[in-house]
């Protein structure tokens, strides 16, 4: 029994540390767009992020967590020696954490998701055997890393094009904004609630019929859109500020929309990234508790809550500084542009979460920003940085794998 | 610590360009006070204004260099980088011409005949008007970027540029009339002064020419 306690304690420790790291660094990317465009103050962004990251993790994080904890390693091969999975998952957590630490010290734009998946594949392929990796699934995951930024970019392009056509290029953009922005609010709220209800809630133990799911999603989205519309109607044009920038008041209308998409972004981020921290933890917990590898084991909610809590703590202790720094640097993302990027990214991420794909939320957001850029929405995008992201994308997987292999053999020797 | 999202944004040239034309116009605007002092023969006052002109021209130059450095080739922008750099260059020339013309007048303490004083100031003011209209047009850049260079905003800017062209044509007419007036009193002038007076008129007129070219550059951006 003693060994089991050590395993769970270690896994929980590493898992919380990882969640803390995600909250401290990655959440900034999800929230800074809203802070940079002044749709939210930093304090408001922290509150929104804390609530929706946690909700996203607990309500919609189940599928991705399942993929990370039992989708990559073929557990059939481990029935005789379940402790190997424990060592491996601990090694993966530590490897990903270490790699992220090294990367962020050096300013490399690496993804948490890529690190953890690389680490799990690494320990499984080398520590257990090449056959232990479910290569088909891994292939799908890697494909999703290519597809998700492209999808987000395409969606963002379409959304921003529609904003330009319907609102920004019109004679009276303010009136048009007041008319159409509630529709965008509805769309944002509808997509995110629907995917959550359809894909996420079964992990919490709720099952709702397809028809009821749509009705519920429409009802919730309409409610949010109506509240948004009421607030928007009360926005009065600021003639003085508009002398310098004609879109001043229009952007304030988009600011309301951005609050909604910021919630969606935090929710989406929580739903996908929580798995990076607690997928391995969940695997360790299920082995340690049962002493065996149970393919059908269900995911305990407390594990999701632990991950969500870790993200919130990371956000509160360190993340707010990062949000402030990043927010200052991305003022080009005015609400009309920022919402398009956020809505496209959040939609893509929530769908990925629903289908259990662990994707990089940051890369998806970068894809969305590029999409807005292609729609001639961004003043200047530095393509050198985009290229660097691509390179670190490729380097991260072997790096995470290598570290995981080293840690795996250390754990195998040291741990009981 | 570097952040991916923060770093994919290059420094936007839009607000700095708007600021630059603001400085260039402020510089050109000093010409009224400068020539008013010169006409009165108050060279002390003229020297004070000239120092202000030099400072503004210098500020514009500094900002121009800063904007250029912030626009590496790796930037992806809705309009070609070259067009923005050209716009910057002609904006800067408004300040340059202002400095040149005030330099000649102050350096030679060039007398401006009382007979043409009013007409001269009117001509100067009209050139300053052109610079002002150029500033008004360039200040729409951020809105153009937001609207993606299409739609109602484009029409608004086109109208501003049309007005700029009208002002420039007006300066041309005034310049011709002013030259005729100088010609009429040429006999009474010191020959060297007369030559320089023509040159000052020519250079002053170039301020409106540069302002008009700012409009042409903006138009090029609209056509993308």
pLDDT in tens, A304-320: 888 888 888 888 888 88
Expressed as residue numbers, the domain containing B96 is 12-222
Which pLDDT band, with edges at 50, 70 and 90, does B1 fall under?
A: very low
Q: Is residue B7 in some structural domain?
A: no
| A379·B71 Cβ contact <8 A | no
| d(C-alpha A261, C-alpha A272), whole Å | 16
Is the model's pLDDT at A220 over the cut of 60? yes
How far is residue A112's CA from residue A52's CA, in Å, rounded to a whole number?
19
The nearest alpha carbon in chain B to A328 belongs to: B6
Q: Where are the domains of chain A?
A: 2-414
* Percent share of chain A, pLDDT over 90: 36
Pair of tokens at residue A5: 């306690």
Tell me, yes or no, whether B67 lies in a domain: yes
Residue with tokens 């500084």: A321
| C-beta separation of B178 from B201 below 8 A | yes
pLDDT over threshold 60, residue A247: yes
Higher per-residue confidence, B11 vs A152: A152
| 3-class secondary-structure state, position A147 | helix
Most confident of A28-37, A99-108, A164-173, B172-181: B172-181
Most confidently predicted of A238-247, A287-296, B33-42 = B33-42
pLDDT of residue A81: 80
Q: Quote the tokens at residue A383.
A: 């393509």
Residue A173's alpha-carbon distances to A215, A331, A354, B177, in angstroms, are 32, 21, 36, 45
The pLDDT tens digits of the residues spanning A358-369 come to: 999 889 999 999
The CATH number for B126's domain is 1.20.58.220
* Residue range A252-277: mean pLDDT, rounded: 90
Tokens at A173, concatenated: 């953009």
Alpha helices in A42-134 (DSSP H): 42-60, 62-66, 83-106, 112-122
* Residue A297 confidence (pLDDT): 64
pTM of the model: 0.88
Q: Which residue of A has its CA nearest to B75?
A: A382
The β-bridge relationship of strands B75-76 and A381-382 is antiparallel
Geometric angle at alpha carbon B26, from B194 and B218, rounded to 5°:
95
φ/ψ bin of B71: left (φ > 0), alpha (ψ from -120 to 50), beta (otherwise): beta
Where helices occur in A291-382 by DSSP H, the ranges are 301-314, 320-329, 335-354, 361-374
CA distance A245 to chain B (A): 7
Pick B10's closest partner by Cβ from A168, A366, A382: A382
pLDDT recorded at residue A295: 55
Residue A118's pLDDT is 93
Q: Is residue B91 within 8 Å of residue B149, measured between CB atoms?
A: no
Of A298 and A69, which is predicted with more confidence?
A69
Q: Does B69 touch chain A (CB under 8 A)?
A: no
CB contact under 8 A, A168 and B151: yes
The total number of structural domains that make up chain B? 1
Candidate ranges A97-101, A149-153, B12-16; pick with highest mean pLDDT:
A149-153
Which of 208-267 (A) contact B at CB < 8 A? 244-247
Considering the domain boundaries, does residue B207 fall inside one? yes
Residue B130 or residue A27, greater confidence: B130
Least confidently predicted of A195-209, A215-229, A246-260, B56-70: A195-209
CB contact under 8 A, B78 and A377: yes
B80-107 tens-digit pLDDT? 999 999 999 999 999 999 999 999 999 9
DSSP structure string for A219-263: HHHHHHHHHHHHHHHTPPP-HHHHHH-TTHHHHHHHHHHHHHHHH
CB nearest A164 (choices: B6, B13, B150) = B150
Token representation of residue B212: 């008009």
A287 confidence band (pLDDT: 50, 70, 90): confident
Average pLDDT score over chain B: 93
- Asked whether A365 and A284 are in contact (CB, 8 A), the reply is no
Lowest mean pLDDT among A89-93, A203-207, A224-228, B170-174: A203-207
Q: Does B1 lie at the interface with A, CB-CB under 8 angstroms? A: yes
Residue B210 lies inside a defined structural domain of this protein: yes
Contact residues on chain A for B13, CB-CB shorter than 8 A? 379-380
- State residue A1's pLDDT score: 52
Q: Is B142 on the interface with A (CB under 8 A)?
A: yes
Q: Please report the pLDDT score of residue A204 as a whole number.
A: 67
């Amino acid at each position: 029994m003693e060994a089991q306690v050590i395993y769970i304690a270690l896994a929980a420790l590493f898992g919380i540390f990882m969640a803390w790291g995600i909250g401290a660094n990655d959440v900034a990317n999800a929230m800074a767009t809203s802070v940079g465009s002044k749709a939210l103050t930093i304090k408001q962004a922290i509150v929104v992020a804390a609530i929706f990251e946690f909700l996203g993790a607990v309500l919609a994080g189940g599928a991705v967590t399942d993929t990370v904890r039992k989708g990559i390693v073929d557990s059939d091969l481990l029935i005789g020696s379940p402790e190997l999975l424990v060592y491996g998952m601990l090694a993966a957590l530590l490897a990903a954490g270490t790699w992220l630490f090294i990367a962020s010290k050096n300013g490399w734009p690496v993804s948490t998701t890529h690190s953890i998946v690389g680490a799990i594949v690494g320990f499984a392929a080398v520590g257990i055997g090449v056959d232990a990796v479910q290569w088909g699934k891994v292939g799908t995951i890697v494909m999703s890393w290519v597809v998700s930024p492209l999808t987000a970019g395409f969606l963002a392009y379409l959304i921003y094009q529609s904003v330009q056509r319907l609102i920004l290029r019109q004679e009276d953009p303010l009136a048009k904004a007041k008319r159409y922005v509630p529709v965008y609010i509805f769309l944002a709220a509808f997509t995110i609630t629907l995917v959550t209800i359809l894909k996420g809630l079964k992990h919490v133990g709720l099952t709702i019929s397809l028809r009821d799911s749509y009705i519920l999603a429409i009802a919730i989205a309409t409610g949010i859109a109506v509240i948004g519309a009421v607030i928007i109607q009360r926005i009065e044009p600021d003639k003085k500020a508009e002398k310098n920038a004609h879109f001043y008041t229009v952007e304030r209308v988009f600011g309301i929309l951005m609050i909604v998409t910021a919630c969606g972004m935090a929710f989406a981020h929580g739903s996908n990234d929580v798995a990076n921290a607690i997928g391995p933890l969940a695997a360790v917990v299920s082995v340690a508790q049962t002493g065996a590898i149970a393919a059908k084991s269900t995911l305990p909610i407390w594990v999701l809550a632990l991950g969500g809590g870790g993200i919130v703590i990371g956000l509160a202790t360190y993340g707010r500084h990062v949000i402030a720094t990043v927010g200052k640097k991305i003022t080009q993302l005015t609400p009309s542009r920022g919402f398009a990027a956020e809505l496209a990214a959040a939609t893509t991420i929530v769908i990925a979460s629903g289908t259990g794909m662990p994707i990089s939320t940051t890369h998806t957001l970068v894809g969305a920003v590029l999409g807005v850029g292609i729609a001639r929405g961004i003043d200047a995008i530095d393509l050198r940085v985009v290229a660097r992201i691509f390179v670190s994308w490729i380097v991260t997987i072997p790096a995470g794998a290598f570290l995981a292999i080293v840690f795996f053999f250390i754990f195998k020797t040291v741990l009981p | 610590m570097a952040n991916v999202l923060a770093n994919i944004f290059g420094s936007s040239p839009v607000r700095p360009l708007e600021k630059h034309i603001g400085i260039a116009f402020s510089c050109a605007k000093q010409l009224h006070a400068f020539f008013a002092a010169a006409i009165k023969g108050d060279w002390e006052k003229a020297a004070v204004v000239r120092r202000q002109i030099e400072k503004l021209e210098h500020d514009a130059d500094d900002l121009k260099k800063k904007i250029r450095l912030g626009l590496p080739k790796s930037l992806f922008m809705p309009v070609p980088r070259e067009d923005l750099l050209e716009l910057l260059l002609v904006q800067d020339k408004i300040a340059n011409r202002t400095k040149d013309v005030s330099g000649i007048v102050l350096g030679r303490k060039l007398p401006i005949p009382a007979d043409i004083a009013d007409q001269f100031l009117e001509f100067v003011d009209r050139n300053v008007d052109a610079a002002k209209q150029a500033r008004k047009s360039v200040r729409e850049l951020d809105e153009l970027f937001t609207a993606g260079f299409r739609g109602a905003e484009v029409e608004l800017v086109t109208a501003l540029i049309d007005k700029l062209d009208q002002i420039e044509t007006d300066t041309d007419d005034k310049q011709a009339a002013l030259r005729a007036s100088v010609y009429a009193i040429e006999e009474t002038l010191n020959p060297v002064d007369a030559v320089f007076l023509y040159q000052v008129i020519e250079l002053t007129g170039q301020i409106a020419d540069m302002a008009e070219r700012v409009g042409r550059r903006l138009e090029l951006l609209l056509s993308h």
